[in-house]
Each structure stands twice: as C-alpha cells, then as structure tokens.
Amino acid sequence: MKNLKKIKTALISVFYKRNLEKIVKKLDDLNVQIISTGGTEKFIRNLGIKVISVENITSFPEIMDGRVKTLHPKIFGGILARNENKNDKKQLEEFNIPIIDLVIVDLYPFEETVRNSKSEDEIIEKIDIGGISLIRASAKNYKDVFVVSSQNQYLEFIKILDKNQGITSIDERKEFARKSFSISSDYDRNILNYFSKKNILRYGENPHQEAYFSGEMEKIFDKLNGKKISYNNLLDIDAGLNLISEFKETTFAILKHNNACGLASRNNLLDAWKDALAGDPISAFGGVLICNKNLDKKTAEEINKIFFEVIIAPSYEEEALKILKQKKNRIILLLKENKNFQKEQFRTILNGFLYQEKDLKTEEEIDLKTVTKISPECKEISDLLFANKIVKHTKSNAIVLAKNKQLISSGVGQTSRVDALKQAIAKAKHFNFDLENSVMASDAFFPFSDSVEIAYNSGIRFVIQPGGSIRDKSVIKFCDEKKMSMVFTGTRHFKH
C-alpha cells in the first residue's frame, strides 16, 4: 500500500490550457490544494476555483518579465522532498515548505517558434527554464510525485483521477516520469539543434535535403583547403577515420560510400597508395583518401593524378601541400593527434532512437582459434587479421578478400553472404588479381558450406570468420577435405 499515494497538493503552470479545465475541476472535487502562477493562476481563478499564488508561498514576486517565477527553494523543496527521509521532513517543517505531490507543467513552444519566427530574441525567449526544471525535479522524485508534462497527457491523467479518485500507483508515476524525461530530452535536443546550425552543411544525403553537423570538427582535424564539407563527405570521413585507426603499419585507404574500395599496408606510403589504388581504380574516382603517416611529395604527385574529394593525413610535407592545393575545391584535412571519437552510436528510428555501444573490438592473434586440421602460418595470420579489420568496417553482408596486406576486393551490403562472396570474386577477377592462396574474411558466420566451396574453387585457401553457426561442423569438414585453413574469432561484426 505504501506505493499508492493520494494527491493532496498540486502545482499547475502551463502554456497550453486546452482540457485543463476538466483536470482542475476534478482536483477541486477531490479537495486537492492547487498552487499556480501567472496566466494559469488567472485561468483557474476565472473558473471560480480556489488557488494559492506561488508568490504567497515564496514571498517573492515574478521578476524579469516572468523569466523567474517558480525557481525557488520553497517550490523545489516541496517537489524534491523524499517522503521516507526524516531529514527532508524536518527541513520541510523548519522552512515551512508545502509538500507538492502533483506537478502539471508544459514547456514553451520553442520548436514551433523556430519554425515560425526569424527573430532570434523571440526564439531565445521561448527556451523554457522553470518548466524544464519542474519536469526534471518531479520526474526524478516519481516515488512521491506525479508529473504531467504535456497537454497530450491530460486525457490519460483524467482517467487515472477518475479511476482511483486521486490515488496513483508507483507504476503510473514512473511511467509518467519516463514520458517526462523523453519530452525534456527532445526539447533540449531541439535547442541544441538550433544553436548547432552554425555548422550548416551544403545539403544532406541528397541536394533536396537540409543538413547540419552538431559537434566540434575542429577538435578532430584542421581544414587546410577546399570547399565546404558535405553531409556525405562527413560520413566517409568518419568511416575512414574509424578504419585507419585499426592500422599501425604505414597504410593508405580509399573509401566510397563509407566502405573501403582500396587499402594496403606497406613499408612506405607511396607503395601503400599504389597498391590501395590498384584494388579498385574505378571506384577511387571521387573518393575519400586517408593515410596514417606523413604525406610526402612523391606520394602527393601520384595522388594528384586522379580526381578525389577529400584527403586526410596526420601531417603533410610543404611541397606535398602545394601539389594537393592545385585544386581549389579539394578538401585537405590535417588530422589532430588528440582525437576524441564518440564511443556510442545513436540512430533515429520510428518515433524514437536506437542506442548502442560502438564496435571497438579488434581481434588479435591471441583471439584466433584454428578449427581445421591445417593451421595458418605467420604470413597468412597477418593477412587474416588484416582482412578482418577491413570487414569489420564494411557494410553487411560483407566479404573481404586480401593477399599480402592488400585489399583485393570486397562484397558489400548484400542480402546474402553467397552474393557478397560472388561479388568480391567477380571484382577481383575484373582487376586481374590472382586469388590463389588469398584469404577471405566474413563479418558473420557461414550458415552453410556453399560459401567456402565457392571460395575454394576460386583459389582462396584461408578463411577467418566468427563461427557460431549450427552447421559449423559441415563448414569445417569441407575445409578439411579441401585442405583449407580456417580460424574462428568468436566475434561478429555486423554493420548496418
């Protein structure tokens, strides 16, 4: 029974008053004491219902054109007081603070004002301070306080009042608290979006879509040359930075639509560039280039022979920059050492968003479990780990083929793993790569042995995959029969 609470005192301060009359009259019928301020107080008085002014409780008037109304210890103390805390009760008595167990408050229409007004002063005035504070305080103390934070909740709240005559359950209070935090989160996000529009992008994924970036690019890189960075540029830049961070050896990568179309690790940057480009010289056109070592003049001369949109490096030789800057629209980015990338990922979906931790797992040799009779040698292990790093950053379903630390080809974003493999093989053959004794990496397990059979028939002899299929044994059996070597990582790397 202690989780049931009867509403005794309500604080009401709202912008929208539609359907509020029903609530106020019901509370009055239940002998609930009502506290209010401003226009809401006047609205309640006009209904002929007794209401106590906030000023009478705080002994302090509204100030600054109504900017400060409810922000007072006698209000927030009454909301945040914990019913089972003896010290809280003592302080309520000491400072003559009324317990408030119902808060009905909404927020100034900030988003609507942004849409309809070009006046920054008017928009700023619609950033709610007192309302958002009341919502958060009430929601935090849901064990003792019921909070109604939107006019869209009025009718549901009236049903609760009618059902139990002003008695609420802990589950009801917690659910309305959840709704309140969702509202406050969206509200703050809209404010952030407004202030973030200084990073307005040329357009979104397509020219008819508006877009902007909310963040601090200058903490990641310095822009040395080129046109304004676009939405799609940023997606490729982010994908490239995440990919290149996997490699310690001298490495060059070429990205297109967030996937690597060329990548190679070599003893020097020029060779890394040449072999990365050889992986797919067609897709490299208009791509994003990234390397992890100082970009020298010779490499710049070779790079300058093709058209690309963005290049990223940790440093540049002065002569290299002169060459690269010959194209005024070419975006040249200097990567900073103290990079602070996000470790969380969010995606809007339906009427909310999805959250997940970023995939920060990178397999090392110790993580590999050889499941076939033949074990890979050191050279093959190096290639397997190399390919596995790339497939981790490739859109699923994904297959990556590699040899001698060079990306030979990949099958990207296919609806079946077989199709991804066939795409990769066809592409490798198109660019005249020899697949004999190459390695294959898969972002997820093989549900059947058909993929390894296709791989074997194309000359692939080494496989790295997570494992975990109910048919792993049949896949392993085929590899053993054909004297292929396969290792399991135990970790799937889906990327959607």
In angstroms, the CA 457 to CA 452 distance is: 9
Q: Which of 89, 143, 174, 257 is catalytic?
A: 257
Q: Which of 140, 227, 297, 429 is catalytic?
A: 140
Active site annotation includes 17 = no
Q: Return the residue matching tokens 């690019």.
A: 217
CB contact at 8 A, 148 and 161? no
Active site annotation includes 72 = no
Instruction: Establish whether the linkage from the previous residue to 397 is cis, with ω within 30° of 0.
Output: yes
Whole-number Cα distances in Å, 40 to 10, 24, 46, 57, 388: 13, 11, 10, 16, 62
Burial of 407 (0-12, 13-18, 19+ CB in 10 A): buried
In angstroms, the CA 465 to CA 431 distance is: 25
Q: Which amino acid is at 30?
A: L
In angstroms, the CA 406 to CA 472 distance is: 28
Q: Are strands 221-225 and 331-335 parallel, antiparallel or unpaired?
A: antiparallel
What are 147's two structure tokens?
A: 């909070």
CB contact at 8 A, 146 and 101? yes
In angstroms, the CA 453 to CA 125 distance is: 67
Residues 6+ apart with CB under 8 A from 101: 5, 7, 8, 9, 10, 144, 145, 146
Residues carrying an active site annotation: 140, 257
